Homo-oligomer: A and B are copies of this chain.
Amino acid sequence: MYNDLPKSASVVQKYGGTSVGDPQRIRAVAARVARYKAAGWDRIAVVVSAMAGETNRLVGLMREVNPTGDHRTKAYDMAVSAGEQVSVGLMSEALEAHGVASEPLLAYQLQILTDEKHGQAKIHSIRTDFIENAWKNGRIPVVAGFQGITSAMEITTLGRGGSDTSAVALAAALKAGFCEINTDVDGVYTADPRYVRSAQLIEELDYETTLELAALGGKVLHSRCVELAAKHRVPLVVRNTFGPDEARRTRIMSFGEEKALEAPVVSGITLDEDVAKITVRQLPAGNAAIKSIFSEVAHKEINVDIIVHDHQDDGTVNRVGFTVQKHDLEPAVKAVESLRSQSQLEGLQVATQTNLAKVSAVGLGMRSHAGVALTIFDALAKNEVEILMISTSEIKVSCVVPLAQGKKAAQVLHGVFFESAK
Contact = CB atoms under 8 A, between A and B. Distances in A.
Contacts of A79: 85-86, 88-90, 93
A90 B69 CA distance: 12
Interface string A273-317: 000000000000000000000000000000000000000000000
A198 to B, nearest CB: 40
Contacts of A155: 106
Interface in A144-192: 153-155
Interface in A59-99: 61-62, 64-69, 73-83, 85-86, 88-90, 92-94, 96-97
Nearest to A63: B23
A224 interface: no
A102 interface: yes
B108 A92 contact: no
* Majority DSSP secondary structure for residues of A touching B: helix
- Chain A interface size, as a band, is 35 or more
A94 B66 CA distance: 6
A69 B104 CA distance: 16
Given A75-B89, A78-B89, A85-B85, A27 B65 contact: yes
A45 to B, nearest CB: 16
A26 interface: yes
Residue of A23, A80, A93, A155 contacting most chain B CB atoms (<10 Å): A93
A338 interface: no
A75 to B, nearest CB: 4
A196 interface: no
A73 B93 contact: yes
B23 A97 contact: no
Nearest to A142: B75
Contact of A80 (B26, B89, B154): B89
Interface string A22-51: 011011000000000000000000000000
Contact of A108 (B66, B81, B89, B153): B153
Given A66-B97, A74-B104, A75-B96, 6 more contacts: A62-B89, A66-B93, A73-B93, A75-B89, A79-B85, A79-B90
Q: Which 9 A-B pairs have the closest CB atoms?
A: A79-B89, A23-B64, A75-B92, A66-B97, A78-B89, A82-B82, A75-B93, A66-B93, A82-B85
12 contacts: A23-B64, A26-B65, A58-B86, A61-B86, A62-B89, A65-B93, A66-B94, A78-B92, A81-B85, A108-B108, A108-B153, A109-B154
